[in-house]
């Protein structure tokens, strides 16, 4: 998606350790106009797939998931990262390792909101090692929900997550796929 690639080139900042900072428009400050264009593109890609639920994970997936859901006319469910005192005890859960934060966390959704009647589009801002996406797919499998596919804003295609998950048979559509990046520049696939 050209608009997103241009924005990443203009405002993305590459840091050591393969970190791409897109805080100015995607995961701290959110450019809602850009999110809307991404949402329309996800709808074009997954049109007529019968999607009745969008699943994402807190926190930075929620914005793009909500904007995207408007174009599908369906609700969003976001997986939570740690057990809160007022969540229902009946949850689907998966262990996810964060390479960014260097720790493991359990993600979960209430069983009420993810069931075998759901045809799910998973939405997330980043795909790199694929840990979060595998966790979300696992939640769907536990629920008996059908994963129609995953819509990702930015895929670090030089990291293995995307290809691993595609090879499992899951459709993954990434709006920007980064082939390589360094402080000198970013190359897209």
List residues near a second copy by CB under 8 A.
15, 19, 21, 23-25, 28-33, 35-36, 58-59, 62-63, 65-67, 69-70, 73-78, 80, 84-88, 100-102, 109-110, 112-113
* Shorter beta-carbon distance to a second copy: residue 25 or 172: 25
Residue with tokens 């980064």: 178
* Shorter beta-carbon distance to a second copy: residue 24 or 164: 24
Half-sphere exposure at residue 57, Cβ-oriented, CA atoms within 13 angstroms: 29
* Shorter beta-carbon distance to a second copy: residue 109 or 178: 109
Q: Give dist(CA 8, CA 184) in Å, integer.
A: 13
* Shorter beta-carbon distance to a second copy: residue 91 or 152: 91
Q: Give dist(CA 84, CA 60) in Å, integer.
A: 19
Question: Please, what is the minimum distance in Å from the beta carbon of residue 137 to a second copy?
Answer: 19
135 cis-preceded (ω within 30 degrees of 0): no
Beta pairing, strands 172-182 & 76-79: unpaired
Question: Please, what is the minimum distance in Å from the beta carbon of residue 158 to a second copy?
Answer: 17
């Amino acid at each position: 998606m050209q608009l997103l690639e241009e924005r990443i080139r203009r405002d993305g900042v590459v840091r050591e350790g393969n970190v791409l900072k897109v805080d100015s428009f995607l995961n701290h400050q959110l450019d809602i106009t850009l999110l809307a264009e991404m949402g329309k593109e996800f709808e074009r890609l997954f049109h007529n797939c019968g999607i009745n639920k969008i699943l994402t994970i807190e926190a930075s997936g929620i914005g793009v998931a909500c904007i995207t859901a408007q174009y599908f006319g369906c609700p969003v469910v976001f997986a939570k990262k740690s057990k809160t005192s007022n969540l229902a005890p009946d949850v689907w859960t998966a262990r996810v390792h964060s390479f960014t934060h260097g720790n493991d966390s359990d993600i979960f959704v209430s069983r009420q909101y993810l069931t075998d009647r759901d045809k799910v589009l998973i939405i997330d801002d980043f795909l790199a090692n694929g840990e979060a996406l595998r966790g979300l797919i696992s939640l769907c499998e536990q629920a008996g929900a059908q994963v129609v596919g995953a819509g990702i804003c930015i895929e670090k295609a030089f990291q293995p997550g995307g290809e691993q998950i595609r090879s499992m048979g899951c459709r993954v559509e990434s709006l920007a796929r980064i082939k390589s990046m360094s402080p000198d520049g970013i190359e897209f696939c």
